[in-house]
Amino acid sequence: MAQNDNETLDVVLVGAGIMSATLAVLLKELDPAIKLEVLEMMESGAVESSNPWNNAGTGHAGLCELNYTPESADGSIDIKKSVTINTQFEESKQFWAYLVEKGRFGTPKSFINPIPHLSFVRGQKGIDFLKKRFDALTVHHAFADMEYTEDRATLAQWMPLMMPGRDPNEPIAATRVMAGTDVNFGNLTQSLLAHLGQQNDAKVTCKQKVIGLKRSGKGWLVSVKDLQTGHLREIQAKFVFLGAGGAALPLLQMSGIPEGKGFGGFPVSGQWLRCDNQDVVKQHHSKVYSQAAVGSPPMSVPHLDTRVVDGKTSLLFGPYAGFTTKFLKRGSFLDLPLSIRFNNIGPMLAVARDNFDLTRYLVKEVLQSEDQRLETLRGFYPEVKAEDWRLEIAGQRVQIIKKDAKKGGILQFGTELVAAEDGSIAALLGASPGASVTVSIMLDLINRCFAEQAKSEQWSSKLNEIFPALGAVLANDAERYREVQARCDALLQLQQSANA
Ligand SMILES: Cc1cc2nc3c(=O)[nH]c(=O)nc-3n(C[C@H](O)[C@H](O)[C@H](O)COP(=O)(O)OP(=O)(O)OC[C@H]3O[C@@H](n4cnc5c(N)ncnc54)[C@H](O)[C@@H]3O)c2cc1C
């Protein structure tokens, strides 16, 4: 039988993925007196996109992702996005290093490991682009250690699995940065949740589904259903964070805030090929990113990755995209149709009209046979054997559809924080570059939704302690960048590893 209870909290966070876990820990560091609860509808945290097998685990730092450095109309390379993501990742590292240094956070190796990041291109056009990108990036201190080669012997040393069986006449080239990382965002989320659980007035409760959100005074009344017992309760919260991954959109719509009007979601599913055969695995020790096929979206950039999950090393190749109407991997096929509103149908139709390339790409991906998937992998690893690889289902990415004055609606591949004007509720929409830049997203949230507290002596001195240098300083001050990075790398045990 349903019952109604009433609790009062400062902060409620919906979803126990990397986003909510990071925000909750950050807020408790800034003000240990904050009373908060993280509500998760599944049996544990980090089961959706933050699970290590649902994402690629790349510590995105702009080192290898070729789509972060577009070529401008005049042929020059724009490095702004790479610099921003690089310095945002350094902010994440500062937060993790701070928690490790404080103690009681487990070993850094359980969630972050050094893995070289490589960009690999085939054909003269690709080589010309890569060389120009290398010249443009290495002027900046964040990329000064990048190496470039077209020499086959060097390439064989950098990527031993990828060279045998390759056409000797095909022009190829690569860049390498030794300071890349593989991140187990699932373990990181669990460590953050466990850290939270050790504190007073901080609860993480599972099998708790948020089913209603209503304005109440200056805050929100959050209706929660216990999925095990059917028990209903209500929480009065001053601030609510919708960190529900793909399911953040329906919750944002439920809140009814004007800032959420006009947003829609375009779900893209994914698949990987995974290899656990250690004879193959030991021949590859890097994350190798290449270029997306013409007309395909940025999230389709193919990469062959070393993954370190729970002490075991595997290889992951993909992603291969797909289409479903679910907003979460374990969501409902009704998610997309039920998200259609009078205020977002226009932008959604405009996106359908203007993104025919994407539709064609997704149809092609969905219809791919096993042989065609292997053929794509063969471009990376010519001597691939089908029996060493199996298909895995990746997490869902719900890309943002939003209003646009000129086009009616646009599809956005990044993330967007949507917050109420009074700062009492915020939702995180979108998927990329995602988990790597969670800390920067949450710092932005704090500045927008906790603006007064952030200016206080208590919060600003704590922020300075956790973050010795933020993005703008890191981007412009080479000496400070190196100093802060060296300290974080030592605390996170990110000593660089050489090729196997
Ligand atoms: C294929 C793929 C590859 C990726 N690769 C990378 C990568 O290499 N590097 C990188 O940095 N990022 C990557 N990302 C992005 C990254 O995984 C996500 O940005 C990040 O995990 C999102 O975390 P989250 O906390 O927002 O969501 P999630 O981890 O999805 O957590 C949301 C949680 O909310 C819960 N929930 C939903 N609705 C409710 C409700 N009503 N009540 C209670 N709980 C609810 C869900 O059960 C879930 O546990 C990738 C993503 C995908 C899909």
Q: From the CB of 39, is ligand 1 less than 6 Å away? A: yes
> Mean of the pLDDT values across residues 255-271?
93
Higher pLDDT pick, 83 / 295: 83
pLDDT at 469: 96
Q: Specify the ligand 1 atom closest to the Cα of 39.
A: 43
Measured in Å, residue 249 CA sits from the centre of ligand 1 at: 13
> Mean of the pLDDT values across residues 15-25?
98
Say whether pLDDT at 324 is over 50: yes
Q: Which residue has the tokens 């077209």?
A: 150
pLDDT at 357: 78
Q: What crossing angle do the helices spanning 80-102 and 478-491 adopt, rounded to 10°?
A: 40
Q: Whose CA is nearest to atom 50 of ligand 1?
A: 55
Where along the chain do its domains lie? 263-414
pLDDT at 298: 66
pLDDT at 4: 52
> Mean of the pLDDT values across residues 1-27?
88
Tokens read off for 419:
């917050």
Give 273: exposed, middle or buried? Use CB within 10 Å, 0-12, 13-18, 19+: buried
The answer to which of 3-7, 104-108, 127-131 has the lowest mean pLDDT is 3-7
Say whether pLDDT at 5 is over 70: no
> Mean of the pLDDT values across residues 204-223?
96
Q: Specify the ligand 1 atom closest to the Cα of 243.
A: 26
Measured in Å, residue 126 CA sits from the centre of ligand 1 at: 32
pLDDT at 457: 97
Measured in Å, residue 68 CA sits from the centre of ligand 1 at: 21
Over residues 298-308, the pLDDT tens digits come to 667 899 999 99
Contact in structure between 39 and 210 (CB atoms under 8 Å): yes
What is the 3-class SS of the chain, one letter each residue? CCCCCEEEEEEEEECCCHHHHHHHHHHHHHCCCCCEEEECCCCCCCCCCCCCCCCCCECCCCCCCHHHCCECCCCCECCHHHHHHHHHHHHHHHHHHHHHHHCCCCCHHHCEEECCEEEEEECHHHHHHHHHHHHHHCCCHHHCCCEEECCHHHHHHHCCCCCCCCCCCCCEEEEEECCCEEECHHHHHHHHHHHHHCCCCEEEECCEEEEEEEEECCEEEEEEEECCCCCEEEEEEEEEEECCHHHHHHHHHHHCCHHHCCCEEEEEEEEEEEECCHHHHCCCCCEEECCCCCCCCHHHCCEEEEEEECCEEEEEEEEEEECCCCCCCCCCCCHHHHCCCCCCHHHHHHHHHHCHHHHHHHHHHHCCCHHHHHHHHHCCCCCCCHHHEEEEECCCEEEEEEEECCCEEEEECCEEEEECCCCCEEEEEECCCHHHHHHHHHHHHHHHHCHHHHHCHHHHHHHHHHCCCCHHHHHHCHHHHHHHHHHHHHHCCCCCCCCC
Q: Cα separation of 412 and 354, whole Å?
A: 13
Higher pLDDT pick, 332 / 367: 332
Give 457: exposed, middle or buried? Use CB within 10 Å, 0-12, 13-18, 19+: exposed
Say whether pLDDT at 142 is over 90: yes
Over residues 390-432, the pLDDT tens digits come to 999 999 989 899 999 999 999 888 899 999 999 999 999 998 7
pLDDT at 310: 85
Over residues 432-487, the pLDDT tens digits come to 778 999 999 999 999 999 999 999 999 999 999 999 999 899 999 999 999 999 99
pLDDT at 484: 97
Over residues 41-65, the pLDDT tens digits come to 999 999 999 999 999 999 999 999 9
Q: Whose CA is nearest to atom 27 of ligand 1?
A: 245
pLDDT at 499: 43
Say whether pLDDT at 278 is over 60: yes
Say whether pLDDT at 496 is over 70: no
What whole-number percentage of the chain has pLDDT above 70?
97
CB atoms within 10 A of CB 484: 22
Higher pLDDT pick, 324 / 489: 489
